[in-house]
Structure 1
Amino acid sequence: MRPVAVVGPTGTGKSALALDLAERLGGEIVNADAMQLYRGMDIGTAKLPVTERRGIAHHQLDVLDVTQTATVGRYQSAATADVEAILARGAVPVIVGGSMLYVQSLLDDWAFPATDPEVRARWEARLAAVGVAALHQELASVDAEAAASILPTDGRRIVRALEVVELTGRPFAASAPTIGDPRWDTVIIGLDWETARLDERLRCRTDAMFDDGLVDEVGSLRDRGLREGVTASRALGYAQVLEALAAGGGDAAIAEAMERTFVGTRRYVRRQRSWFRRDHRIRWLDGSDAGNVAAALDIVRHVS
């Protein structure tokens, strides 16, 4: 059986569908959510607790400390090894997540452009001098498509995109692979909701995370170096709570962090939707449809 990938925007129910598919197909889960790679980042990433994983093996969860830097290249190598090991065991890899570059790196065997320490250092110095928002605008002026796909708070990826543009003389996206046949002949299923309904889900999801202890989780991770983490500290929810705690952690600051988390998540969902909708290989399902599992199984069987 070929692998199955479940992709799409945040908050659409991908994890639940992936579990149902893994259970019925004899599969194992391979995570493709960049922030779920981090140990201890559970509430804010909606990571499924071990008790809710139905005894199904999960890979690429809790593999990094918050002080370590997550990279697409490291993920691609490790997740590729997981997928091929699962296939060798005669099981079905079920890849699930919404981190756009991580999904594409895995399914399209992305060969990443080389890096140049001097060029990278120059852009990092520029980031320190003008700030992340201004550097994001500079990226937009030379590569609007790259800027649209990178969060304006993600300084590391902005620097990388500018480095690639300078080194190659081409847009950052030009280094991406052409969308063709996915690796391992993977079946790709997308899950999405009508926009207004998904916004309601995101609001409820954000409120629940704060009610379930996100602030305490961030406080604990801060003591373990979260603030110094290059990628972990920028995760949605975590970045906003870190700022609130730095401002004293009062009720007003936390309420503002909650609102900014919701707004940031909604904005990120728009980027995810734009990215994934360009991929003609994805078979889309409506997340509100109670018959999603049967429909997904029909897709798998049809293309198999």
Structure 2
Amino acid sequence: MHGTDSAGHPAETGEGDPVRPVIAVVGPTGSGKSDLGVSLALALGGEVINADAMQFYRGMDIGTAKISVAERRGVPHHLLDIMDVTEEASVSRFQEQARTLIAQIRSRGRYPILVGGSGLYVRAALDVLEFPGTDPALRAALERELEETGLDALRLRLRAVDPVSADRLGDGRRVVRALEVHGLTGRPFSSFMPAREYFQPAVQLGLTVERPLLHRRLAERVEKMVGQGLLAEVEMLADRGLREGRTAGRALGYAQFLRVLDGASTVPAAAEETVVATRQFARRQLTWFRADPRITWLDWNDPDLTARAAAAILEQ
């Protein structure tokens, strides 16, 4: 447990450096993570690092519920709007960027506050976690094989060398990645997810929302996005290459509304599909984060949420 001084800030270590853990605010989409991140930064003296992979992209504002400049309330936010929609997000590159920022923020005597619901990205920033390299030629060959033989054939091949990943991974992109890693390293992809161990002191705070309320909030949020001009945003991004984006083109809402532009769907149908997909995504997020026993869970609607969250941080 780290001590605090009379102002409530972390006590100094023997070397004279304050012990400021990395703070991570996690939980399902629509639970208020961005707002809590800002409130904690203002209360404790911190800066926010975005850990939502879709908020890396310039122009993807409405459909990702990206926090506005006004909503940031003067708190510095990092790793927002750093990529074009044609670029592919990389968790290993994020790990490097996030850890550089964590060191810089701590050197300024402030708390690094990681905010986002992309589970693997959060873990990459917080945990001792190794990421194998890539081989474009090998990946291209595997992607061709996926196209020619289908997902079932590729998963069967994966099962022979990495049954854990074969059982866990359900989409073609991840199966291709698992086979690429095995081809490069000779090790199962699953072996690169070791026991949970922080690479430096950290505190994770998770926000809970009752399921019926969360479902209602997500439906209302999609309705609001449509009203704010989500279709126009998707159309603008389509002109910038959204369809070609391996990561951005699959984003919730964007994939559904691209079909509207193509004449294959309607706005009401795309909105309903987005609500369903977002609920499914929120369920997967909760499954991921609930598996981590290190997370302190807080009620998103607690009137004393910021104070309780700050207390949980300072007690660590």
TM-score between both structures, scaled by the size of structure 1: 0.89
**How much has 1:51 moved relative to structure 2?**
1.8
Q: In the alignment, which residue of structure 1 is the partner of 2:176?
A: 159
> What count of residue pairs does the alignment treat as equivalent?
296
Matched, 1:57 2:76: yes
SS of 2:297's equivalent in the other structure is: strand
User: Residue 191 of structure 1 aligns with which residue?
Assistant: 207
Residues 11 and 162 of structure 1, relative CA distance in 2, 3 Å threshold = farther
Secondary structure at 1:190 match in 2: strand
Q: Which amino acid aligns with 1:84?
A: A
Give per-residue Cα distances to partners, 1:204-248, cap 9 Å, x unaligned: 111111111111000001111111111110111111111221126
Q: Distance in 1 between matches of 2:169 and 2:80?
A: 23
The amino acid that maps onto 1:111 is E
SS of equivalent to 1:94: strand
Which residue does 2:134 correspond to in 1?
115
Equivalent residue, structure 1, for 2:239: 223
Which of residues 279, 294, 305 is equivalent to 1:266? 279
Distance 1:270 1:223, change over 3 A: same
Residues 1:302 and 2:315 are matched in the alignment: yes
Which letter maps to 2:110?
Answer: A
Ranges in structure 2 where 5+ consecutive residues have no aligned partner: 1-19
| Matching residue's letter, 1:41 | M
Q: Aligned equivalents of 1:206 and 1:51: distance in 2?
A: 21
Note the C-alpha offset of 1:158. 3.6
Amino acid aligned to 1:237: G
Give secondary structure in 1 for the equivalent of 2:24.
strand
Q: Does residue 254 of structure 1 match 2:254?
A: no
Matched, 1:21 2:40: yes
Gaps of 5+ in 1: none
In the other structure, the counterpart of 2:230 is 214
TM norm structure 2? 0.86
Residues 1:244 and 2:257 are matched in the alignment: no
Distance (whole Å) between structure 2 residues aligned to residue 135 and residue 245 of structure 1 = 33
Larger radius of gyration: 2
Cα shift at 1:172: 3.1
- Secondary structure at the counterpart of residue 184 of structure 1: coil
Structure 1 position 268, deviation (Å): 1.1
Q: Distance in 1 between matches of 2:260 and 2:170?
A: 20
State how far apart, in whole Å, the 1-side matches of 2:247 and 2:118 are.
13
CA contact (8 A) 1:108 1:177 kept: no
With over 3 angstroms needed to count, the CA separation of the structure-2 counterparts of 1:188 and 1:162, relative to structure 1, is: same
* Counterpart AA for 1:283: T
- Is contact 2:234-2:258 (8 Å) kept? yes
Q: 1:140 to 1:21 in 2, by over 3 A?
A: farther
Q: CA deviation at 1:168?
A: 5.6
1: distance between equivalents of 2:157 and 2:209?
Answer: 31
- Asked whether the equivalents of residues 85 and 245 of structure 2 are also in contact (C-alpha less than 8 Å), the reply is yes
Q: Over aligned residue pairs, what C-alpha RMSD do you find? A: 2.4
Name which of 276, 279, 290 aligns with 1:277. Answer: 290
Give the match for residue 76 of structure 1.
95
Cα deviation, residue 109, structure 1: 3.5
